[in-house]
Structure 1
């Protein structure tokens, strides 16, 4: 049985209420919409979801709300990696208690220049303390944010020690050569693109799918790319072009704020405009500029 995650997973945004707390009802509605649009699952509480701006209690409550709203635990991949080992264990154990078995786990990201031995020990200690055969960990490589890369040597050690637990990696570095190298080195390891435009070329190299931010807006197109990446026809080219243009549009301004502004415009819900400090919403001038930016024609 293939235990690797594969498909299109949305790095879901987190709507906030007037007190800047996660809005559970709106989030659950968004999850259902993403699944209806073709996402294979929801990677909540990641970078795009502002996870590191929320407390452990807030993170647990949001995951509980998603499960309580009827989102299948098998379709949820919460981020559970934080700098403190014991909190990473606690968040991951909580996810397992809800029936969630696959988590996305950042490396400990406060101390810099940690050794490969230290990084290995951190992940290994989490796995050993949990001791749950159902647990599946997707490593999270985003060195431009964490300042802590996950070297291939560490991945090799973890896979050798825990082959049924360390099942994949989300690579948000933008380094396509790194992604393809992992596909070549690690048989049966799910390499997931962290940037929407890279889904198509990565699939052609044997990649497993993506966990991406712009899927909050173009999930249908990404699902089409995943299902038809070998077709090479006009419909695939059009879907890929829409994905690329949507990513470019969202990158005109700070990405999370831009995506929230675009989702607020699409849904009419003001909660999508809000961000938890230190992140801040776009100015009205920037929102107007963003909304005025032309997109290629959307699918009928």
Structure 2
């Protein structure tokens, strides 16, 4: 399927496998992208918060995107997060990704200076990036995630940028966790593509014009997310929320990224996938084994078409059930 759908679009904010050198493991990443696309995901967001992108160098992100595209992954199904502190680094990443033909680039305000940043300062930040990218083909998705950046992207900032750079502002990813705010964005900026990072808000917001979700849970429950999003009405979609929430409760026993990577590592029988970048740390082994086993049992309780793990594979140990090689 070329490109991304305009409705019910499921994009995974993919976790990034890293080697002992703390650089992206390109073969593992490419294999996982293919698996997720085969399991019903429409596209992939690279190097976002779940992908530990801000902890990766500009060179590593450039080289890894090149490797992904060279492997035959359609760049029109990729959004690249280009967050960094120096504007010059952001511009380089955005220019490279745009030249590679990706669907768009995702950018939140940097989090180094939280206090005293005004709407005008936020506007100036995005203005400085766009002016330095110097690409008419640039498609910029504004990333509203004040829980991390400490800086909201207000409707006023969106309006100013949209008026200043018509056609360049492609949309917004809202990970603020406020469904009312997301709905306001959808209704006020109906010509833009609005994505939510909050999976629980998808059922109702899709009915208002939400394009879809760029989410972390797609790493570990892609089939459940796909089935939920494909339901014809908000009422039908809401029926899947208790299932999603019960799986998320298991993952929430620890920090999300190490938890998700633990499940992926088990699903591939590949412990290298558990590695995270500092300052994150892997989940202690006993807690990890319980989490993985409980997540496997949760997935096995789902309707067959919603299961993302393989419950027929032989166990790798006496404690943890082996999961799907998707």
Task: Give the TM-score of the pair, scaled to structure 2.
Answer: 0.85
Give the unaligned 5+ runs of structure 2.
305-326
Q: In structure 2, what is the Cα distance between the partners aligned to 1:83 and 1:67? A: 26
2:268 corresponds to: 267
Q: Assess, with a 3 A threshold, how the Cα gap between structure 1 residues 229 and 139 changes in structure 2: closer, same or farther.
A: farther
Q: In structure 2, what is the Cα distance between the partners aligned to 1:45 and 1:166? A: 20
Given that 1:101 and 1:134 are in contact with CA atoms closer than 8 Å, whether structure 2 keeps it comes out as: no
Q: Which has the higher contact order (CA 8 A, sep 6+)?
A: 1
User: What's the RMSD between the two structures over aligned residues?
Assistant: 2.0
Q: Assess, with a 3 A threshold, how the Cα gap between structure 1 residues 229 and 169 changes in structure 2: closer, same or farther.
A: farther
1:298 and 2:302 correspond: yes
Q: In structure 2, what is the Cα distance between the partners aligned to 1:176 and 1:26? A: 35
SS of corresponding position for 1:295: helix
Q: In structure 2, what is the Cα distance between the partners aligned to 1:144 and 1:178? A: 14
Given that 1:10 and 1:42 are in contact with CA atoms closer than 8 Å, whether structure 2 keeps it comes out as: yes
Give the unaligned 5+ runs of structure 1.
none
Given that 1:141 and 1:171 are in contact with CA atoms closer than 8 Å, whether structure 2 keeps it comes out as: yes
Per the TM alignment, residue 205 of structure 1 is displaced from its structure 2 partner at its CA by 2.5
Q: How does 1:228-247 map to 2 (within 5 A)?
A: 228-230=231-233, 232-233=235-236, 236=237, 239-247=240-248
Between 85-94 and 181-190, the greater mean CA deviation after superposition: 181-190
Per the TM alignment, residue 108 of structure 1 is displaced from its structure 2 partner at its CA by 2.5
Q: How does 1:24-35 map to 2 (within 5 A)?
A: 24-35=26-37
Given that 1:214 and 1:246 are in contact with CA atoms closer than 8 Å, whether structure 2 keeps it comes out as: no
1:258 corresponds to: 259
1:185 and 2:188 correspond: yes
Q: Assess, with a 3 A threshold, how the Cα gap between structure 1 residues 4 and 110 changes in structure 2: closer, same or farther.
A: farther
1:133 corresponds to: 136
Given that 2:203 and 2:234 are in contact with CA atoms closer than 8 Å, whether structure 1 keeps it comes out as: no
Number of matched residues? 297
Per the TM alignment, residue 129 of structure 1 is displaced from its structure 2 partner at its CA by 2.3
